[in-house]
Amino acid sequence: MNISDALFRLREGDVSVFPALVEQYTPMMRRCVQNFFSASSDRKEAFSEACVTLYAAALSYDLSQSDVTFGLYARICVLRRMAALFAKTRRVLSEMAPEVDIDRVAVPAGVENALVRDETLAELLAKVKSLSSAYEYEVFLSMCVNGRSAAETAERLGKTVKSVENAKDRLLRRIRANRQSFLSD
């Protein structure tokens, strides 16, 4: 069955043709997902979103035009959806740790790499936060993420340098003890 026939049948309510579309466009959708998501659990969720996006693209594609193929149209739709999902992850990162200076984290060239960096940073921060007290997490953000010294962090948080160093040491011991959770995925 050709793509035009499949799209026409899908619009007429014949959902039995959709699995064939998914099969045909799975390589494209996987590439789009991998451009944005590195963790396997995130890729599974994102691939589901890509399938939903493929279905919506099949319903909205203009069959009467010949300038853009359905494959290209579907790819653009899926890429836009993946970018939107990743932007949502970035917003979560900002809400979770508004003090993090994203620009200080090394960024490989390219938008996709920057988005992957943000996702990885969000995952790291969530894991560190789950292992730390609120104070230890503030020390971690200040010293390890934003690169401030113990003295600068102590002044900023209204604590002594010794207190800041102790909080950092406690958290780093906990991170080392739980290093397997940082290596998964």
pLDDT tens digit sequence for 88-107: 766 665 665 555 555 444 44
2 and 46 share a domain?
yes
Q: Which of 39-48, 75-84, 161-170 has the highest mean pLDDT?
A: 161-170
Going by pLDDT thresholds of 50, 70 and 90, the confidence category of residue 57 is: very high
108 and 151 belong to one structural domain: yes
Annotate 171-184 with b (16+ C-beta within 10 A) or e (fewer): beeebeeeeeeeee
Q: What is the CATH number of the domain that holds 108?
A: 1.10.10.10
Domains of the chain: total? 2
- The pLDDT assigned to 151 comes to 92
How far is residue 94's CA from residue 34's CA, in Å, rounded to a whole number? Answer: 23
Q: What is the pLDDT of residues 98-132, one digit of tens each?
A: 555 554 444 444 455 555 555 566 777 788 888 89
**Domain shared by 72 and 112, yes or no:** no
Q: Which two tokens stand for residue 146?
A: 């934003």
For residue 24, give both structure tokens. Answer: 């045909």
Q: Domain range holding 30?
A: 1-96
